[in-house]
Chains A and B, each alone.
Chain A
Amino acid sequence: MSGSLIVAGYTLREALRRRVLTVVVVLTALFGALYAFACTELFHHVSGFNFNRGIDERTLGGSTILGLSMFGALFLGTVLAVFLTASAVRGDGERGLLAPVVVRPLSRGSYLGGRLLAAASVAAAYVVITYLLAVLCTGVIGHWWPSAIAGSALRLGLAAVVVTALTLLGSVFFTATANGIVVLMLYGFGILAGLLGEIGDVLPSATLQKIANIASWALPFEALYRDALRLLVGGVPGIAGAIVRLGPLGGSHGAGPLLIPWTIGYIVVVVLVACWAFARRDL
């Protein structure tokens, strides 16, 4: 068995034995129940609205609450990725957990690969499953189904992998607490930049749009989130479409066909830099 798979398996076993995954499943079930209740209430009330000019109340309600659930799923997946990876190198090194493992005939790259594999799999799977459950909930309760479900799920999953890779890189330089703070603040900065971009689109302001664009490429999880929102409501026509594209917590925004290849390249480069820095680090 390759070193990466051994490390990944051990990391996942640790998450299971420490009941991290149990807690995640229980709390997500709670989140799901709350979401289902919110859907029921929303569609019950929204069906009584009398919109003019052809705005479909179910589309408006469904896309809005599903957009919120996407934000929630990605945020929770980000927290999960951070907690599973924040201490991978420096944190575990300072606690004395790392040395017994990395003195084995296991390259440091394999160790990082294993940690990435475990955390990214868990975080991406969590985000995708939570999103799909929200889609199912919205469809069953509100009879509204978004377009391009798979495309949105793919982008959300990739966004979770980007966050995991960034956390892994940060773990080479920062202690667990500092790394967690850095990554969560970067995440917040990315979302904020997306909101600024949305404001820039409405005003319009070229400067705000430029800030948002730079942030999108520098922190592609933000671009992936906005692109997933775009796919979610891309098929909604007219004024309803214009409203839902503004969206909750950062509007939808197409980043173009280069987004996925850029993201994959970005993840590869971040992991390579982490491997390079880890290889040079004295423990």
Chain B
Amino acid sequence: MKFTPLGCLAGLCLLAFRVDAGEVRAAVAANFTVPVQKIAEQFQADTGHSVKASYGSTGKFYSQIRNGAPFDVLLAADDTTPDRIGKEGLGDAASRFTYAIGKLVLWSKKPGYVDARGEILRGKFDKLAIANPRLAPYGVAAQETLESLGLWSGLQGRIVMGESISQTQQFADTGNADMAFVALSQTLKDGKTIEGSQWVVPRHLYNPIRQDAIVLTSVQDSEATEAFMKYLKGAKAIAIIRSFGYDLP
């Protein structure tokens, strides 16, 4: 968790002065880590409610929620898990909505390595990292992209898989993989592209990565949680979400 000291201080003051301030316990998909921190900061400044977020893979959260994990809301990396949670009565299906649509990029830490059209995928390289398609929606999108390009079967043996989209980026960040398919939100920092080179994969090469949020039945502070869900749909949150390269429906 990264809060600015000033933000923390402001939060503490608010907590001290506002007795009606609530807390939202959020399970958040790893690719949305930084955006949700920014949104939570704004949300707290505007409403006094705080957000306690845990970050991880959507599949892991699903298992935990099924087994009674103490969360009020899930911000998933896909739309199938929230759908399943709604159908199984673990969450409120009516509260479900798409808070962001993810974009896929091919990223390398080396400047000038990845070209503007992704031709490097047909060239010479040692290892390409993708998230495990069984576990991560961005892994599915990476596989779909490689399949659309007709490269999937030819690249077997050169593809390494991260268990989450964060580990996938870490493989490329340490230089152990030459490049990686990650979320656009991971290669943006303060609105600017981080060090390295990248190719934003055209939308027609993979199915849209719809990221849905849903309120869980284990919700404790429903007032703060409802306020947070409403805030996520508001102009301020949308501006932050867009600044990280996500689309909206």
State yes or no: do A and B come from one complex.
no
Q: Which residues of B contact A (CB under 8 A)?
A: none
Give the B-binding residues of A (Cβ under 8 A). none
